[in-house]
Structures are given as C-alpha cells and as structure tokens.
Structure 1
Amino acid sequence: MAFARLIELVVPTSATDTYSIITSVTLGLTGLLAYRVFLSPLRQIPGPFICRMTSLWMYYHSYIGDDCSLIDELHKKYGPVVVISPREVSISDRTALMPIYSDKGGFIKAPCYSNFDIEGHKTIFSTRDPAHRAVRSKAVLPMFSMANIRAGSGAIETSANKLVAKLREEALRSRKTCRSVNVLNLARSLAIDAACAYLFGKSYGGIDEDVESMTANAFVDALVAVGRLFFMPTWFFLLIEETRLKYFLTKEEVDSTESVHGFADQVVRESEKSDLTYQGRLLKAGISLEETEVQCKDLIFAGTDSTGNNFATLCWFLAKYPDIHKRLRDEIAEAEANDPNYLITTLRYLDAVVREGLRLSMANPTRFPREVPPQGWNFTAFNGQQFHFPAKTVVGVQPFTLHLNPEVFPEPLLFKPERWLDATPEMQRDWIPFGQGARQCIARNLATAELLYATRAVVRDGVLEGAKPAKDEIERIQWFNSRVVGDKIELIWA
C-alpha cells in the first residue's frame, strides 16, 4: 500500500498534475539559472555567459578533447581568471601556483579525482584525503628518491638497451620496406618494463612482445579514455563507466586487463613484506593484498602511458631535428671520453632536451583542479586584479597554457632545448609537467630518469640517424591523460 501511495504521489494522474510538475520544474530551473547569473559569488568573474549557467558546455569539450585549447582561448579573451562552469574557475596567472598547490600542502583535490579510483580503492593519485595518502606515500616514497634511483639504474638501463636493439631491428625493416615504425608502442614497452623492473623487481616483458600490439596497450588505452569523463560528477561517471564495463567491453580490453591483472597479482602475492620493492613496502605498511595489487596496476597505467608518450615524442623531435640529435650525441661522446663513470645528470644538453620534450608533449595537459578551503581564498593576480573565491569553488591551472605562454617561452611551439641552458626563474616556475606541490606525481624522479637513460641510449647508439617523422605534427586529444590521435607516433628510415 505504501508503494502504491508513493506511485500516486510521483506519477501524474491527470493533465493538471502534469502541468503542475512541468511548471514546478520550469520555475526551479529558472530560479537556479537566475541565481547563477545574478547572485552567484562568482558572478563578478569574467567568462562566457553559458559557463555561468551550466557545466554541460565544458563537459562536452572535455569529452571531445579540446577543452585545453578552448580554455587557453578564453584566457586570451577574458584575462588571467575566467569562469568555466558555475562553480569552477581556471587561472592562467603563475602567482596562483603556490597558494593552490604548494603553500601548507595546497588545496585539497577536487571531488572529480574520485573518478580515478580503481576497483573501489582510492589510489595514491586519486585519494582526496591527505591522511589516507600519507600512509601509502610514506611507505613507497624512498623508492623515488634520486639516490635510490641512481643505485637501481641498472634495471632502467637494461630496459633501455633492449629497446635500442628492438628499435634497430625495426629501423632495418623500415629501410628495406619503406614502412613506418610506431615508436609510441616501443616507448610504451620501454616504460612498462623499466618501471616494473625497478619498482617490482620483475620486468613486464613488453619489449619482447610484438611491436604492433603490446598486451598492456588496451588496458592502458581504456584508462586513458576514462579521462574524457574525468571532470564529470561522480554519480554520472559511475553510471557511464559501469554501463561500459557491462555492455561495451571488447575482447581485446578483457584480455589486456587480465594480462595486467595477472602480472600484478603475481608480483604482489610472491612478494615479501620488505623494503626492496614497491609492493613489499606497501604490504609492510599494512596495506591489504587486494589494495596493493590495485596500487601496482595504477602505477603500471600511469607510468606506461605518460612516460611512453613523452619518450616517443622525444624520439620524434630528435628525428625531426638532426642538428639537435648531433649536438646531443657529441655531448654524450665527450662526456664518456673524459670520464667513463660520469653521472648522467651532468649532461646539461641532455637535461635540456628532456625538459623541452616534457614541455611540449604534455602527457597531462589539462588543469589540475583543487577545491578552495572552508575559509575561502582571496587572490591577487599578477596584474593587480583582486578576486575572492568562496569555499568549495574549484580552481586550477593547466600546463597547456603555462607551457605555451610566449611571454615565458618565446616561440612556444618550437622544440628549442637550448632555451633551458639559461633558463629564467619564470621558466622553472611555469614548467609543471608533473604538477606541483605535495600532490605532484610521486614518480616524477623515476619518470625523468627513464627519459634521461633511454634518450641517452638511443642517441649514443645512433639508431635514429636517417629517421624522419611520418607526419608533420603529432595530434593529441586533450583528455586528462592526452591521447595521440590514431595511437601512433611514426618514424620512417630512408
């Protein structure tokens, strides 16, 4: 009876009831829109009228993958602070970096980060709770120190040398057949093998697989595609994602996920609670087997996608600019002639090449959203403008805008490593490929080391000599993790 009564209350039984419901909904929406346009605390912040009324416009552009370019254009039109949804503001002013991301730990991550939880577990990346993260990050942080990475660099160099041998085979085949080589797949195989060998004590074996289809690719691509929904409300994200998992999974995705799951399950269950491996440290800290496996899979995804993207882009630029390749090869040869035991970090031009590659590849181009704390935030922009943001306003700065700012990086679209040989303080500050502050990428030192060792290996070998890019540019979809259009970065050897 109670259920029948509920139906009577909810479902209209006459034309009058239908009219009343439509009228109520219309008045409610009109009132909400009026509040957002005329009474919202963000009404004084410049921006498109549609962004004041609804988030749908920006959700759409995030989904199709051009929101970074769109927001950059909005900043050029409206200034350093622009409203992009009823409760979100994008900031291009460099002075916002410290208060948002660094001072006193920075602002808490925005609610949308929960969309990157895996299998019901909050990862080191996705969790919003600093205390929850602290237990896990404290356990594994020593593995990401530069001193420990240098001590364990043998695992990274072994993977880099295997990659060079594989790339040389593909280059020879390209010369014979005039067919292009997808260096993105090769770069991904390097990234997954190097990260797993160093952190887990066991290589994934990606370099040994077919260059056209590494078994982890579909798993990684599926999570990259999740990024198109990153900024959506969590309830909507879960609805879409659960529908996809139930009805639209491909056999390739299932097989790939099982492959990665099987690898992670093996390294976790065969591991001891010790300080020698990433999973061992988590287990020693009291993290469950199930969650430890999830944390390992999250690291496999992030490391494979981002570092693979960055390294493939570096190879593409070195092939496009043979003079840069030659200068770098000369630096490496000179260093080895003077001191066979030199530290790789002393190669200034190599460091410059990697920095410039990270500036332009932007594996994570979009804004890193944070939530304004309960006391609100008063912000004074570089040009003297003052703004007040109430609690729970979502604010963020995107690398896309900072990295392509011509005032800081003249001719920003050009690959010019030499700019880093005399870097300005503004360049150092605005270069945020791994984020900034306490919540920046925990594996940034490892990712950088992989790029340094792998770039040195391919340049020292000379395997890229004679290579040319198959296309004039690399097109990217601007999701949270950018995706290369066509999933290919191709080189051809003449």
Structure 2
Amino acid sequence: MALLTILGLVLALSFTFIAGKVIYALFLSPYRNIPGPRLCKITRYWAIYQDLRLRRISKIHEWHCKYGDVVLIAPGEVSFSSPAPTRDIYGCSGRHPKSSYFDNLTMYGQRPIFCVRGVGEHRQMCKRTFAFYQPSSIYKPATLQPLRTNVSKIVSRLKRDMEARLTVDAMFYCNLYSFDNITRLAYGPDLSAHSIDDENCEERTILAGWKEVEVWNNLAYIVPTVHRITRAVLSHTRGDPAFLSAEERLADWNMENIMASQRDPGKIVPGSLLHQLSHAKTPQGEPYPVSWIAAEMLDNIHAAQTTVALALTFLLWDLARSPEWQDRVRTELLSLPISEDDGLPTFDGIMACPILDACFRESGRLHPLSSGRAERVVPATKAYSGIILPAGTLVSTSTLSIHHRPDVFPDPHIFKPDRWLEADGAALQAMESCYMPFGYGARLCLGKAFAVAEIKQLVAGILLGFSVRRDPQSKTTTDWTMEQLGTQNAMPRGRRCDLGFHKLAEREWTGMDGTQVGRAV
C-alpha cells in the first residue's frame, strides 16, 4: 500500500512538474509570442530529433515557410530568415559570440579560428591569416599554377575514366581536386597531397571515409556515448576496424606533416600557410605551440576541402540538369584568349566571365555552402525584427530560407542564373542582402577568394572538354539523392553524384576578335 502511495505521489509530482513547464512555456515564457511549432515552445527535443534525422536544416526551412521570418525552434533558440536581423547577428558591430555547439569542433585540445567563440579573440586570430587569404596574395602565379595543373589532371582523368563507363562520380573527383589544392596551399609542395595522381594513397582512403563520418557526426555531437557504442558495433559487424575513423586518420596525417616540418624546417616554404603560422607570435612574443599550429592547419583543410568539393559537385549537377546554361557558359569560355602555359583560358578571363559567375552564384543560392549551424548568443537583451530577446538566447539565420525568399528570388526552387544577369540595381541589392553562401560579416569565410578560383577554374576546364549530362535512368543520383542533408556541411543525401562526361568534338577556339587562337577538345 505504501508503495502505491509513493508511486502515486511520484506520478502526481511528475505531472505537476510537466504541466508547470508547459504552462510556463506557452503562457509565461519571454518566447511565448514568437511564431513556431507549439512543441518547439515546450521542449528542445523536437529540434534534437530533427538533428538526429539529419533534417534540421530542411525542417527549419519548412517552419519559416509556414510561420514567417521569425521562428522559435526550441526554448531559447530563435531562427531568422530576413536581412535585417542577419546584419544584427553576424555584422561586425553586433559582437555576438558563437554558441557552445562549436565546442564540438576543437582539435588537439586547441580552439582553431572556426570554433573560437569570443568576438575579440576571433578578431585577434583573424589578423594572423587575413592577409594570407586575400586575392592580392592568392591570385599569384606561384599559387595559381599548381591549381591549374590540377585542373588539367582532373580533365585528363575524366577522359580516361569515361572511356570505359557511362557515368562517373563527380563528387569523387571534386574531393581529390579540392584536397590536393588546399594541402598544396597549406603545406607547400613537399608535404602536400597528390591524391589525383596516386590511386593507392592514404589520402584517398581518408576522403572516402569522410562522407560517412559527416553523416554520423550529428549523433556524436548530441549523444557521444551512443555514437561510440554504435561505431564499435558497426565496426565489428562490418568487419571494418577503420569504420568512421577518417577524422582521426586525417588528424594523424596532419600531425605527421607538422612534425616532419619541425624535423626539417626546409620543408616550410614561404607562401604556404604553414610558413605563415610557424612564424606567428603570441601576444607575449613567443612562438605558438605545435598543437596550435596543427589545429589551425587542420581547421583550414577541413573548411576548404569540404566547401569546394560540395560547391563543385552541386554546380556540375545544376549544369548537367540545365544544358542550355551549360552551352552558354561554354560559348562564353570559347571566346576567351588562352594561356600559353597550359592551353586553358587565362585565369583573369575565366574569373571575369559573367555567365559562369551567374551560374556559380545561383548554384550557391540553391545549395548553400555554409548551411550548417551558425548559432550566436545574444549578448544583451535587445530587439530583433521587433521581438525582444533576452540575453543568452541562441539566434541564427537559416541560410536555406533566406536564399529561398520568394519576394527576393522569384521561383526560388528553380535554377535561374539569369536572375543575376538581368536584375537592376535595387533588385540586385536585395538579392545580395539575402545571399550568404560563404557566411556573413565578421565571420565571412577567409578562404573565399581561393575557393571561388578553384571552382571557376575547374568548371571552365571541364566544360571546354566535355558535355556534362545526368543519367535519367540512374538510381544512384536523382533529385532526391541530391537533396542536402542536415549535416555541418550539408552534403547530398546519396553521398555521390554520378554524371556523364561526354568528350566534345574538336572545334576551333576563337578569341573575342574572331581570330583563331587555339583548339578545344
């Protein structure tokens, strides 16, 4: 009898506690009047559930479509999809620190620049690499020549591999290309990867495993113990001890390179990121520890490799589905003068192509390059879009939603590069204010200039050599498999992109004045 009494008391107290939380959330909380799903007002576990399903990004976009520009996604967490609060949150004057989510991204016990939370500390860290990534530093022959050599290598591999296949995985080639480029820039020629050339290298194994790691990382961030158990079980059942080990293997590979440079300083060449960081000094004038240098190097590699590989994959996918735009880009490229060094159009010519740029922008709008969580903490109670939010509230802008505003981007789900070519001043300004594929404001991607160069140069090389087509009969690459998952880097659901690269017939390549300057194959 006493047991039943105790049980009844526990149930009554539990009910009272839950009822009290529900009543507070719906009627007394400072967030009670913010639009959003009722369940999200009561508990954060609905958003966590969407995170575990890898649907957080798309679900928040659905909520914005239903509830408007401001959505409560969990108690104390608010998402926006309009430019004004975006400026407040991410602008240089906003001083919003990052959330504790970024604690998941520390490396070697250090906080590299991407996961530094404080505004002041981030500003100080930016000073060490800001100049390194500026166009005036990046767009030099010593940096561009290896990049363009890799373009030629990828084109050659595609020609060879397509002789025996109907389609190949474009994402695979984009991974190799972006990894070789960033490691060359970061480490210099002696320590960089050569994954395009070496089919049996460790780097290829790491890149192949990265895709699986990305899919499972949400679980690792939310319930790490469950992730460790799941990893151990799946590793055993699959007979693969290396399952989900790509991040650790990349960290080991990176540290081996750093230690090799410590043993032989001659490998640290001027013009590399490693040289820049190795000569940086603390505020006290001391050199930074090896662990800090390693963390910064790995952080830069992570960001540059994933961003470029996925941006290239989605741009090739969009062009494969839009042959008319592919032809327009190719015609534009064929009018350019060629470089005597590699037979490709000149670097400046490619970078200045308006149609190529419009396609690049539109693909980045449809498939945001930085659509992972970009949470910031409200530093002091203030109004955002007319709504007062208490200090400590987590705020963010849904990149997917702001990129799909129908009042700014008519037919937002359609690939329409002409919107960037035909917009007048006011319309273009409105689009620019709602466009943030490389982040926004104080935390804008430092490597943007290098990433844009990588993407445009490879697309130019591919389109001058091939007609890129999707396979309508493919079961591995469809509109559904190319939908972005709710992972940190928003990779495609199918983790591959099978496309046909059909070699173009040889044609005259004429310059803008109509004179023959070369031939394209």
Q: Return the TM-score normalized by structure 2.
A: 0.81
Q: What residue in structure 2 maps to residue 481 of structure 1?
A: 489
The alpha carbon displacement at 1:140 in A equals: 1.8
Q: Say yes or no: does 1:187 pair with 2:178.
A: no
Task: Flag the 1:69–1:262 CA change in 2: closer, same or farther, 3 A.
Answer: closer
1:61 matched to 2:50? The reply is yes
Matched, 1:111 2:100: yes
SS in 2 for 1:451: helix
Question: 1:361 matched to which residue of 2?
Answer: 367
**Matching residue's letter, 1:282:** L
Q: What runs of 5+ residues in structure 1 fail to find an aligned partner?
A: 1-12, 381-385
From 273, 276, 286, the counterpart of 2:271: 276
Match of 2:513? none
Question: What residue is the counterpart of 1:267 in the other structure?
Answer: 257
CA distance in 2, matches of 1:342, 1:21: 73
The partner residue of 2:144 within 148, 153, 156 is 153
Which of 452, 455, 458 is the matching residue for 1:451? 455
Structure 2 vs 1, CA of residues 275 and 141 (structure 1 numbering), >3 Å: closer, same or farther? farther
> Relative to 1, partners in 2 of residues 1:345 and 1:240: Cα closer, same or farther, differing over 3 Å?
same
Q: Residue 405 of structure 1 corresponds to which residue in structure 2?
A: 405
Q: CA offset at residue 435 of structure 1? A: 1.2
Q: Distance in 1 between matches of 2:349 and 2:186?
A: 21
Name the residue aligned to 1:377. 382
* Mapped pair 1:329 → 2:312: no
What residue is the counterpart of 1:89 in the other structure?
78
Structure 1 position 368, deviation (Å)? 2.0
8 Å CA contact 1:171–1:463 kept in 2: the answer is no
CA-CA distance at 1:295 after TM superposition: 2.6
Structure 1 partner of 2:467 = 464
Q: Which amino acid aligns with 1:192?
A: F
Number of the residue aligned with 1:197: 184
- Is 1:440 the counterpart of 2:444? The answer is yes
Deviation at 1:126, TM superposition (A): 1.4
- 1:300-322 deviation per Cα after TM superposition (whole angstroms, max 9, x unaligned): 22222221111012222222222
Q: Is the 8 A contact 2:30 2:389 kept in 1?
A: yes
Counterpart of 1:294 in structure 2 is 295
Does 2:218 align with 1:228? yes
Shift of 1:127: 1.8
Are 2:356 and 2:456, in contact at CA under 8 Å, matched by a contact in 1? yes
CA shift digits 1:403-428 (9 cap, x unpaired): 12222112222222222224411111
Figure out how many residues of one structure are paired with residues of the other and give that number: 467
Answering whether residue 173 of structure 2 is matched by residue 169 of structure 1, we say: no
Greater helix proportion: 1
Contact 1:55 1:86 in 2 (8 A): yes
Query: What's the offset of the Cα at 1:125?
Result: 0.9
Cα-Cα RMSD:
2.9
Instruction: State the alpha-carbon separation in 2 of the partners of residues 125 and 299 from structure 1.
Output: 9
SS of alignment partner, residue 336 of structure 1? coil
Q: Which of the residues 36, 47, 57 maps onto 2:25? A: 36
The CA deviation at 1:257 is 4.5
How many angstroms apart in 1 are the aligned matches of 2:35 and 2:429? 29
User: Judging changes above 3 Å, is the alpha-carbon distance between structure 1 residues 246 and 137 closer, same or farther for their aligned structure 2 residues?
Assistant: farther
Paired with 1:440 and 1:137, the residues of 2 have a C-alpha distance of: 11
Per-residue CA deviation, residues 428-486 of structure 1 (Å, 9 max, x unaligned), is 111111110111222222211111111122123x2235665644422322223212222
Alignment partners' CA distance in 2, 1:161 and 1:296: 26
Q: What is the rounded CA distance, in whole Å, between the counterparts of 1:211 and 1:389 in structure 2?
A: 54
> 3-state SS of the aligned residue for 1:378?
strand
| Counterpart for residue 242 of structure 2 | 252
Between the aligned residues of both structures, percent identity stands at 25
Letter in 2 for 1:261: A
Corresponding position of 2:518:
none
Q: TM-score, normalised by structure 1?
A: 0.85
Task: Kindly state the Cα deviation for residue 74 of structure 1 after the two structures are TM-superposed.
Answer: 1.9
Task: Provide, for residues 369-406 of structure 1, a one-character-per-residue CA deviation record: whole Å limited to 9, x for no partner.
Answer: 21111x212123xxxxx211110111111111111222
CA distance in 2, matches of 1:283, 1:15: 69
How far apart, in 1, do the equivalents of 2:160 and 2:470 lie? 13
1:297, CA displacement in angstroms? 2.3
1:218: Cα distance to partner?
A: 4.4
- Partner of 1:77, secondary structure, is helix
Whether contact under 8 Å (1:136, 1:282) holds in the other structure is no
Aligned match of 1:9:
none
Unaligned stretches of 5+ in structure 2? 281-286, 340-344, 503-521
> Match of 1:184, as an amino acid?
M
- Aligned-partner SS, 1:214: helix
Structure 1 residue 341, shift from structure 2 partner: 7.2
Q: Secondary structure at 2:93's aligned position in 1?
A: helix
Matches of 1:486 and 1:76, distance apart in 2: 25
